[in-house]
Amino acid sequence: MYQLTGLLKVVNNTQEISEKFKKREFVVTDNNGQYPQDILFQLTQDRVSLLDGYEAGQQVTVNFNLRGREWTNKEGKVMYFNSLDVWKIEAPSNAGGPPPMEAAPIEAVGGDDEADDLPF
């Protein structure tokens, strides 16, 4: 599990990908390094409502899991994708905003636990 505090830059609407899957993306700017980084996060399924009440310009703390997956396209080329799946969003106590909302952490499906040993 990872955590990032930054400025909420973009708040997108919920997207209905299929009858059984919906997601909502947002961007948080991390100003902790030499150069600001705009980080794209996603909320899925019932977690899309965690962003309700937040607006661009607010300071937020985001708790998330790093996920990766392999996909083979029609030509047989193997590709890899990463996602930052959010399970909790809150405004720092001095920043205002809605009260913290939390969903159960997202558990990995299948595979082994080697991803927990990432060096970053």
> What CATH number did the domain enclosing 28 receive?
2.40.50.140
Q: Give domain status of residue 69, yes or no.
A: yes
Q: Which amino acid is at 81?
A: F
Q: Give domain status of residue 38, yes or no.
A: yes
Q: Give domain status of residue 87, yes or no.
A: yes
What is the residue range of 8's domain?
Answer: 2-114
The pLDDT of residue 82 is: 95
Q: Give domain status of residue 119, yes or no.
A: no
Q: Mean pLDDT of all residues in the chain?
A: 85
- Do residues 108 and 115 touch, judged by C-beta distance below 8 A? yes
The pLDDT of residue 92 is: 81
Count of structural domains within the chain: 1
Q: Give domain status of residue 24, yes or no.
A: yes
**DSSP per position, 41-81:** EEEEGGGGGGGTT--TT-EEEEEEEEEEEEEE-TTS-EEEE
What is the average per-residue pLDDT within 33-45? Answer: 95
Residue 43 pLDDT exceeds 60: yes
Q: Give domain status of residue 120, yes or no.
A: no
